[in-house]
Structure 1
Amino acid sequence: MYFLGFLMPCFLWILTAVLLFFLFSFLLTVCVLYTQGIANREWREFSRTEMINNTLNPDFVRKFILDYFFEERQNLRFDLCMEKPLINEDGSFTICHKTEVVKNTLDPVWQAFKIPVKALCNGDYDRSIKVEVYDWDRDGGHDFIGEFNTSYREMSRGQSQFHSYEVRHVVAGVYSHTLTHTPTRIVKQAHTLILTLSCIVFCWISGNPSQPTSLHYMSPYQLNAYAMALRAVGEIIQDYDSDKMFPALGFGAKLPPDGRVSHEFALNGNPQNPYCSGIEGVMEAYYQSLKSVRLYGPTHFSPVINHVARYAQSVKDGSQYFILLIISDGVITDMAQTKESIVNAATLPMSIIIVGVGPAEFNEMIELDGDEERISSQGRFAERDIVQFVPFRDYIDRRGNHILSMARLAKEVLAEIPDQFLSYMRTRCIKPGPCPPAYNPAPAVHPLLTRRVSRI
């Protein structure tokens, strides 16, 4: 009796495992991608993979292709769903692979590709596999050329020889093309470019942070203009920094204990180590500084530009790229020195983002942005445009949606960074490592590989 009592739990465990195996074996698995809206944060379905059955470890073939924007935070959600099929096998097909584009030829040669047997035929060597060929049209109305059917067993015979298949147009009932193939393999390589954020800088002119009229006013209900600008840009760009440690500086203030005026001081109060952990660390240092320093003019940009330039000067091999964010609410009082600093910095791996907050005109800051006319100093023009200036007020949502306001600001000020980054790399002939082939969504003539779906 003791022996039977010992075996009973083991038997129940084995029975449960077997039942779970059969339960999941008759389910179809699909992965669904959702994207999140900027303003309302609602999740919307973007795309989904093909369904995979009879496995607890699906290996999906269909890829999610969506546009990437450097200047935006693109939140994604992946849901793995399991569905119980309700019908038997109905003879339909599911897409297994699409080839790349081959243009301007009536005799296309496609690159070799590799598909797991599970994805190709679900392990059934005799399952029907259909190859369809289309002729691409720019308007999306691709012309069907023809198709043929085969199986994995047939394609795998005589691996050292070419196999020929006649592509038949089903409607016309004629043979129009001949396809040949030989089994091959490809190896994909990837490369990574590291973008390092160098410095967060604030410009403090005047005003008491305890007064609601100050742009530095710390309201218990919402972020002030400086904090919104910092968070808008910082939360996106911090994802390109490897260690998330940011040196944060302030200028235009009297420092304790002697009240000396500084245009280059550490927000965290530690000049030997001005680094803050993440954007949240910078925000905390900013708020703490408001309690200990006295805001004061004038507004000098050149000291902080030169500060970052010294770091960029030491790393010119393309392994790092520095970004200086300046948030200011007043005029520039060292314009000539600032222009000279920018001209010098244009030869270095760095960019400068200037966000203007408040009601000022910002005419001098607009002059620093070299979109229309390249900035110059003492007859010497900047090698490239490295400055982007944006007045925050132009992107504030009038309905009071601060999330949308910050998203608009970040999109505008960061839009030029990729081109500025690439312009430095190209002029220095700095190239990234090997990268995977570029995806081309416009097929000219390409076969569509499908397999018959098995449903229980």
Structure 2
Amino acid sequence: MATQCVVKVELTISCKNLLDKDVGSKSDPLCVLLQSTGNDQWTEVDRTERVKNCQDPEFSKRLCIDYHFEKVQKLKLGVYDIDNKSVDLKDDDYLGGFECTLGQVSTWITPPIVADEVKDNRAIVLEVEARNLDKKDMFGKSDPFLEFFKQADDGSWTLVHRTEVIKNNLNPSWKKFTVSVGTFCNGDFNKPLKYFCKIILLKAQTQIRLIKKINTAANLSFFCLIYSILIFFIEAQYTFLDYVMGGCQINFTVGIDFTGSNGDPRSPESLHYLSPDGTNQYLNAIWSVGQVIKDYDTDKLFPAFGFGAQVPPDFKVSHEFALNFNPNSPYCQGIEGIVQAYRAALPQVRLYGPTNFSPIINHVARIAAGAAQQSNAAQYFVLLIITDGEITDLDQTKQAIVNSSKLPMSIIIVGVGEADFKAMEVLDGDNGVLKAPSGEPVSRDIVQFVPFKSFTSAPREALAQTVLAEVPGQLVSYFKMRNIIPVNPPAPSK
């Protein structure tokens, strides 16, 4: 299940040396934020206040917008000289403006535009155990779990967390869990809370005891009847935006399937065949995902590789060849550079096989392992693999993914054509935890697979929205697993 990264972002705007359109006085500027809705259509999102008689305004009203990592959000900022009380800008003088994406604002645009996430980044961390619970099950010990509730303004109670069930145990120790301060108590540490211990009895939940109302401002560690709050503290809960706005670079790498099952690129039946407009499913996938990722990499140099082809000059099979045929510098300048390298390589290689993923995964993993040694949140890696068929080195790929799950990287697999992609769904892990042949499970979910055919009639951006939706959560899960904070963390919430 994709974890949507949808948060509120506030843009702080200031200007310098605006044009003076008023006679006898300075301009009265106001800034308007527009967002593209497609087909060259724009809709107003927000606007600042008007600042009277000022050519260097610092607007106090912030512009608020929803942020979606998986989308290219095109923005247009315009500054107008306001000389009347009408909200219509058609009769006001346009002083200037520019276009950008919200991803660019969050990563490399510097003042006069500053982006801030609207949030409380604190979280409650709790670990609870119980001793000598009553035996309520006729044929065995109880199966207890805990439920925590907060009180609403109208006096009703809302469930905020339910622990896992501990089977057949009268002395349970539940796993440590984390709940955001907003969810736990709406940021109000004087809000009353209560928790219940329940058991599963005859497939029904049976409440056995209201333990105690607790106050979140109480001591961090305390005993409550037969229950022990082993851990109770507040920690900063950093988000995806905290990391990328704090300086984390997202490094994008592409791996392209050049196996024989794609068909002769000269044939219109081939998945590598370039249509009259110069595109195919491979290029559409690269454009779709790349247009989002590129805003999070400052140098715009993207490594691109092919696999499963016989490569010049000796035409030996390679599962990890640079698309530009320069193994010492496999980087392409921008997404356009990847496209150009792909088009140039296509007539030079001989499609062959088999379909091996592990060499390219291990290649990116080696680079990610080097970044992991820095013990900071400066780099994260996203590998896009585009393939047409069943994977050949499944066991080696599972092991490579398990190893990579300990590193700052995510893997996106896009399946093109009409092949059976059941093995890819196994790698995705949505239906269970992926394990290596040795039985070792992944440390965290890092793979997302989608079949391209599901998006053939959808807008190009729909593919990116689906495959990239999980990346923010995966990035955060890695740095949280390593207890690594952003390079430049946000100021603590007050």
Q: How does 1:121-136 map to 2 (within 5 A)?
A: none
Alignment partner, residue 420 of structure 1? 474
| 1:86/1:314 CA distance change after superposition, 3 Å | closer
Alignment check: 8 A CA contact 1:24 1:55 kept: no
Alignment partner, residue 338 of structure 2? 282
How far apart are the structure 2 equivalents of 1:309 and 1:63? 41
How far apart are the structure 2 equivalents of 1:256 and 1:272? 16
Larger relative contact order (C-alpha < 8 A, sep ≥ 6)?
A: 1
Q: Which of 360, 363, 366 is the aligned partner of 2:425? A: 366
Q: After alignment, is 406-415 or 192-201 more displaced?
A: 192-201
Alignment check: 8 A CA contact 1:24 1:56 kept: no
> C-alpha deviations, 1:347-396, integer Å up to 9, x for none?
11111110111111211111100122111012111111110001111122
Alignment partner, residue 353 of structure 2? 297
Which amino acid in 2 is paired with 1:34? Answer: L
| 1:212/1:61 CA distance change after superposition, 3 Å | same
Q: Does 1:396 align with 2:481?
A: no
Alignment partner, residue 30 of structure 2? 30
Q: How does 1:57-456 map to 2 (within 5 A)?
A: 57-85=56-84, 192-206=246-260, 207-316=263-372, 317=375, 318-377=377-436, 378-397=438-457, 404=459, 406-432=460-486, 433-436=488-491
Q: 3-state SS of the aligned residue for 1:424? A: helix
TM-score, with structure 1 as normaliser: 0.66
Q: 3-state SS of the aligned residue for 1:47? A: strand
How far apart are the structure 1 equivalents of 2:24 and 2:400? 65
How far apart are the structure 1 equivalents of 2:79 and 2:64? 18
Deviation at 1:343, TM superposition (A): 0.8
How far apart are the structure 1 equivalents of 2:40 and 2:33? 15
Alignment check: 8 A CA contact 1:346 1:386 kept: yes
> C-alpha deviations, 1:118-139, integer Å up to 9, x for none?
xxxxxxxxxxxxxxxxxxxx9x
Listed as ranges, the gaps of 5+ residues in structure 2 are 1-19, 87-117, 121-150, 154-185, 187-241
How far apart are the structure 1 equivalents of 2:493 and 2:420? 44
Alignment check: 8 A CA contact 2:27 2:55 kept: no
**Aligned-pair Cα RMSD in Å:** 2.8
How far apart are the structure 2 equivalents of 1:78 and 1:56? 17
Give the total of aligned pairs.
320
Q: Does 1:54 align with 2:53?
A: yes
How far apart are the structure 1 equivalents of 2:424 and 2:74? 33
Deviation at 1:247, TM superposition (A): 1.1
> C-alpha deviations, 1:155-213, integer Å up to 9, x for none?
xxxxxxxxxxxxxxxxxxxxxxxxxxxxxxxxxx9951313314211012221212211
Give the structure with the larger helix fraction: 1
Deviation at 1:294, TM superposition (A): 1.1
Which amino acid in 1 is paired with 2:335? Answer: I
How far apart are the structure 2 equivalents of 1:101 and 1:415? 20
Q: 3-state SS of the aligned residue for 2:66? A: coil
> C-alpha deviations, 1:47-99, integer Å up to 9, x for none?
11112222222221111111111111111001111132389xxxxxxxxxxxx
Q: 3-state SS of the aligned residue for 1:230? A: helix
How far apart are the structure 1 equivalents of 2:85 and 2:482? 61
Alignment check: 8 A CA contact 1:245 1:277 kept: yes
How far apart are the structure 2 equivalents of 1:392 and 1:327? 9
How far apart are the structure 1 equivalents of 2:250 and 2:57? 37
Listed as ranges, the gaps of 5+ residues in structure 1 are 1-19, 88-99, 107-137, 139-188, 399-403, 440-456
Alignment check: 8 A CA contact 1:204 1:253 kept: yes
Deviation at 1:438, TM superposition (A): 6.5
| 1:33/1:293 CA distance change after superposition, 3 Å | same
Alignment check: 8 A CA contact 1:25 1:55 kept: no
How far apart are the structure 2 equivalents of 1:376 and 1:24? 74
Give the fraction of aligned pairs with identical amino acids, expressed as a percent: 46
Which amino acid in 2 is paired with 1:386? Answer: I
